[in-house]
Amino acid sequence: MSNSHSAYCGYRDYLVLETLLDIQKPITEQHDELLFVVVHQSHELWFKELLHELDALQVTLSKADSGPALRTLRRARAIFRALTAQIDVLETMTSEQFDTFRDQLVGSGFYSAQFREIEVVLGRRDGTAAEHFPENSPERARIRARADEPTLFDAFLAYLDAKGYAPHDLPSALHGLHSDDGVVEQICQGLVDLDQAFQEWQYRHVVLVQRVIGNKIGTGGTSGAEFLRKAIFTPSFPALWHIRHGEK
C-alpha cells in the first residue's frame, strides 16, 4: 500500500467521512434544502464543541487557573463568531427558495437540545428550557442535569474568591479588579466578550428569520422572529454589564 493511499484511508477513517457525508438527508428535491441541512448540522457540531469548551472553562475558573481560562474564553468566543459567519451563507437563500421546502419541515432550531444546554450553562435557570422536550427523553434529562450544576458565572465567582476579590460584595469586587487592570480583569472582559458574541449571534439569527419568513409562524409551529426577538439583548452576565454604568 502506498503512503498516499494509507494517508487517505487514515484521514477518511479518523473523521468517519463515509458516515459524516451520508447523514445529510434532505426530504425534498429542492436544491436549497441541502444548504439548510448542512448549516444546521454544522451548528450542532459547533454546539457540541462549545459545550466541551464551556465545561473546561468552568473547571479552570474553579481552579483559578487564569491562563487556560483565558485561552478557552477566546476559543468559545471564536466559536460563536464561526456560528455567526454561517448565517452569511444562509442569507444567500431567498425567502422564495426557502418556501419551496419549508412546509415539509417538521422541526426547527428552537428544538436544539444542545442550544438549550448552552443557555443553561450561561445562566438561564427559569425552568423552561427542558419543557420543550418529551418527558423521559435523553434531551430533557441532559438539560435538567445541566440545570442542577453551577452556572458559568458561579465558576467566575469562585475564581474571584480565589484571587482575593470578595464575591459577596460583587460591585466592589468588580470595581477593584477593573482598577487593578490585571489578569483577573482580562477574565472579566473575556466573559463580557463571550456574552456579546452570544448576543450578536442571536441577533443575526433573528434578522435572518425576519428576512426569510417575516412575521409568519416559525418552522415547526414556533412564533418565529417574535419569539427570537424576546431572547436577545438579555445578557447572560448582567452584573458585568451593569458595572459599566455604575449600577449595583
pLDDT digit string (tens) for 68-115?
999 999 999 999 999 999 999 999 999 999 999 999 987 777 789 999
CATH node for 33-243: 1.20.58.480
Higher pLDDT, residue 4 or 138:
138
What is d(CA 94, CA 51) in angstroms, rounded to the nearest whole number? 31
Identify the residue whose cell numbers are 434531551.
139
Q: Where are the domains of the chain?
A: 33-243
Q: What is the pLDDT of residues 37-49, one digit of tens each?
A: 999 999 999 999 9
Q: How far is CA 226 from CA 18, 105, 182, 241, in A?
A: 39, 19, 41, 25
The pLDDT of residue 4: 77
CA angle (84 as vertex; 82, 149 as ends), nearest 5: 80
Handedness of CA 201, 206, 207, 212 (dihedral sign): positive
Instruction: Report pTM.
Output: 0.90
Residue 229 confidence (pLDDT) above 90: no
CB 228 within 8 A of CB 202: yes
Q: Which of 119-128, 159-168, 173-182, 220-229 has the lowest mean pLDDT?
A: 220-229
What is d(CA 24, CA 43) in angstroms, rounded to the nearest whole number? 13
Average pLDDT for 179-202 = 95
- 219 contact partners, CB below 8 Å, separation of at least 6: 102, 105, 107, 108, 110, 213
CA 5, chain centre distance (Å): 38
Identify the residue whose cell numbers are 443575526.
204
pLDDT band at 246 (very low <50, low <70, confident <90, very high): low
Identify the residue whose cell numbers are 473546561.
56
Residue 224 confidence (pLDDT) above 90: no
